[in-house]
Amino acid sequence: MSAAPKGPPGLKISVVGPSGSGKSTIANYLASESEGSSAFKVAPTYTQTVGCRILECERTIDGPLMPIELWDTGGSTDYESCWPAVMKDTDGVVLVYNPENEGHVSESGAWYDFFVKNNSLSDDQCIVFAFAPNAQPEIRPRTSPKLQHLNVVNITIEDGQTLLHQFDRFLRQVKKKLDTKAKKTAEFK
Ligand SMILES: Nc1nc2c(ncn2[C@@H]2O[C@H](COP(=O)(O)OP(=O)(O)OP(=O)(O)O)[C@@H](O)[C@H]2O)c(=O)[nH]1
Ligand SMILES: [Mg+2]
């Protein structure tokens, strides 16, 4: 009996970072059909994410539509027990912090350590969004020393297109990394 044909493999992307940094705002935007609109739709009131939400979207990355699971993680330490599940088998990490919040800047280093460094992911599998209302694209945002070697991108609420563009670039980079890993594994067999 032949195996059922497999569709294109999807990617699991974990969206992590301090509480109130904008993870759900960003995940909602990416998962919505809002490609045509240029600005985020911001919820009128902030609602803390309890545990983790999984959102789905599809992006075209050098080929057919690729299913993406976005694991939008609650940033409160009350939900720390969920983090191992968020980390497990993740293909990439989107780390979100608000560079205008001093606490976020320092906390973001710990998020990087936990989700990327201690999870044996390569830095290519991580993108950092500095999400602030007044971000200026040409100015490097305030960053934890632990993130200084990473791709840190300014994201503003007015500019959803930049977010989509950066997200697709990141997915392409993750896919390339995974393809290279799979090729190396096959060569060893
Ligand atoms: N960081 C950031 N937040 C903004 C901006 N503009 C508005 N906000 C508000 O900041 C809050 C962020 O909320 P969420 O996206 O729910 O934050 P979160 O990171 O998911 O928070 P947790 O679920 O608690 O981890 C919302 O009330 C946004 O409307 C912005 O440009 N940057
Ligand atoms: Mg949230």
Residues 142-162 pLDDT 10s: 999 999 999 899 998 888 888
Closest ligand 1 atom number to CA of residue 22: 15
Choice among 75-84, 142-151, 164-173, 177-186 with the minimum mean pLDDT: 177-186
Q: How far is the CA of 123 from the centre of ligand 1 (A)?
A: 25
The confidence score (pLDDT) of residue 5 equals 45
How far from 184 is each of 25, 121, 125, 177, 189, CA to CA, in Å?
37, 16, 17, 11, 9
Coil vs helix vs strand at 111: helix
Domains of the chain: 11-33+52-182 (3.40.50.300)
Give the position of tokens 């830095």. 123
**Rounded to an integer, what distance in angstroms lies between the CA atom of residue 43 and that of residue 62?**
33
Query: Greater confidence, 21 or 62?
Result: 21
pTM of this prediction?
0.91
pLDDT in tens, 71-90: 999 999 999 999 999 999 99
Q: How far is the CA of 1 from the centre of ligand 2 (A)?
A: 45
The confidence score (pLDDT) of residue 1 equals 40
CB 23 within 8 A of CB 40: no
**Rounded to an integer, what distance in angstroms lies between the CA atom of residue 140 and that of residue 110?**
20
Mean pLDDT throughout 38-49?
A: 82
pLDDT in tens, 110-147: 999 999 999 989 999 999 999 998 777 778 899 999 99
User: What's the mean per-residue pLDDT of the chain?
Assistant: 89
**Rounded to an integer, what distance in angstroms lies between the CA atom of residue 94 and that of residue 143?**
15
CB 74 within 8 A of CB 61: no
Please work out whether the CB of residue 144 comes within 6 Å of at least one atom of ligand 1: no
Q: How far is the CA of 130 from the centre of ligand 1 (A)?
A: 12
